[in-house]
Amino acid sequence: METTNNDRIRNVQGKDRRPEFWLVFMRSAQVAALIDVAFFFLFYALGSPILAWVNIVSVAIYTLVYYASKNRKKRIAVALIWSEVIIHAGLGIILIGWESGFHYYLLMFIPAICLSTSFRPALITLTVLFACYVGLDFLAWFIEPIQPINSFALKIVHLFNLSVVFVMLSYLSLYYLKTARRAQKKLNILATTDPLTELYNRRYMNDLVDKEIQDFNRTNDGIGIILIDIDYFKKINDQYGHKVGDDVLVRVAQIIKKQVRKQDLISRWGGEEFLIILPDTPLIDVQLSAERIRAAFLTYDWLKEIGEDVSPTITAGISELKQAESLDSAIARADRALYKGKADGRNRVEL
């Protein structure tokens, strides 16, 4: 059977497909256990010892839920949490009545269901939850509470339950938002940068340059292009190994960064090729920048910095983007210059 990219991603990610959800899940178990401790004292004070002791059982269940999810026994954790909430809410309603507000806890399942599964199973589970909720409400029409508490105490319990559910939902939503934002930021970095050198990747560089070109077409200030290639990089890999080759690429990125201005855009354009875009820069200054970068390689102490005296040189091809010219065509000219620089002996800047 053919393996699709999605299958491969699932295989790599394994059971941790929604790590943020599980973080929130474990946090929920901790918060719920704390709330049940508070409930224990509240029900004792209100004269309902059965409900008070139910909360001790609940604390034990939430402790199990926490350790089960920590040890990746996620099915067990989910089954325990569902059972606890439904039985606890059911008992609360049967013992002291619908007005106690225990049913609000069932609402906490709505975001949990939506976040933890895909569309169809979520829809089915939500329907089951809705049936349970309405069923309990309907049941409450006909049965009297087994252990009623006085109406003031009932109002206090209702207020407490309502507040707990409100605060818990808000807290967990904010917590989830924070983890989701963090994940989004990570994804953005992955999508825009090269993981080894931490420079912009080729795709993102194209997007950035498109914007620069729009500005350029308005202002007509020059855009300089420097295409840099490390000389005989294959030899470095062959002689010192791939790891040293990677170290060299990282240092090359650092050297280039040091020699250009803040507004200049640097990207890893290919394996050992780097593209620099210099906005608002006349060609003569582009050439000076490229020479400065080339010179920086000659004085860099490679032995001290990476433990091997690799001492690579670079060849750079430069060009200037013309009005109404495409980036590809300007880069093609820089590439031709680079090719000429290589043919003429390397370690040089070619216009």
Query: Residue numbers of the site for ligand GTP (CB under 6 A)?
Result: 196, 229-234, 237, 242, 245-246, 249, 271-272, 342, 346
Among the listed residues 306, 325, 292, the one whose alpha carbon sits nearest the alpha carbon of residue 240: 306
Least CB distance to ligand GTP at residue 335 (A): 12
User: Angle at CA 113, nearest 5°, toward 108 and 115?
Assistant: 105
Sheet of strand 273-278: strand arrangement: 265-268, 273-278, 223-230, 314-321, 349-350
Least CB distance to ligand GTP at residue 124 (A): 47
Least CB distance to ligand GTP at residue 304 (A): 20
Q: What are phi and psi of 200, to 5 degrees?
A: -60, 145
Closest to ligand GTP by CB, 231 vs 320, is 231
Label residues 166-188 b or e (16+ Cβ within 10 Å = b): eebeeebeebbeebeeeeeeeee
Query: For residue 15, what are the CA distances in angstroms to 10, 95, 211?
Result: 8, 39, 41
Q: How far is 42 from 296, CA to CA, in rounded Å?
A: 72
Closest to ligand GTP by CB, 81 vs 306, is 306
Closest to ligand GTP by CB, 249 vs 253, is 249
Closest to ligand GTP by CB, 116 vs 315, is 315
Among the listed residues 253, 234, 231, the one whose alpha carbon sits nearest the alpha carbon of residue 311: 231
Q: What are phi and psi of 108, to 5 degrees?
A: -65, -20
What kind and span of H or E run contains 317? Answer: strand 314-321
C-alpha gyration radius of the chain: 32
Least CB distance to ligand GTP at residue 312 (A): 8
Least CB distance to ligand GTP at residue 176 (A): 36
Closest to ligand GTP by CB, 15 vs 242, is 242
Least CB distance to ligand GTP at residue 346 (A): 6
Closest to ligand GTP by CB, 246 vs 285, is 246
Q: What is the DSSP string of 224-293?
A: EEEEEEETTHHHHHHHH-HHHHHHHHHHHHHHHHHHS-TT-EEEE-SSSEEEEEETT--HHHHHHHHHHH
Closest to ligand GTP by CB, 257 vs 342, is 342
Least CB distance to ligand GTP at residue 269 (A): 11
Least CB distance to ligand GTP at residue 340 (A): 12
Least CB distance to ligand GTP at residue 252 (A): 11
Closest to ligand GTP by CB, 221 vs 238, is 238
Closest to ligand GTP by CB, 229 vs 350, is 229
Q: How far is 348 from 172, CA to CA, in rounded Å?
A: 59
Sign of CA dihedral 58, 102, 29, 17: positive
Q: How far is 334 from 88, CA to CA, in rounded Å?
A: 72
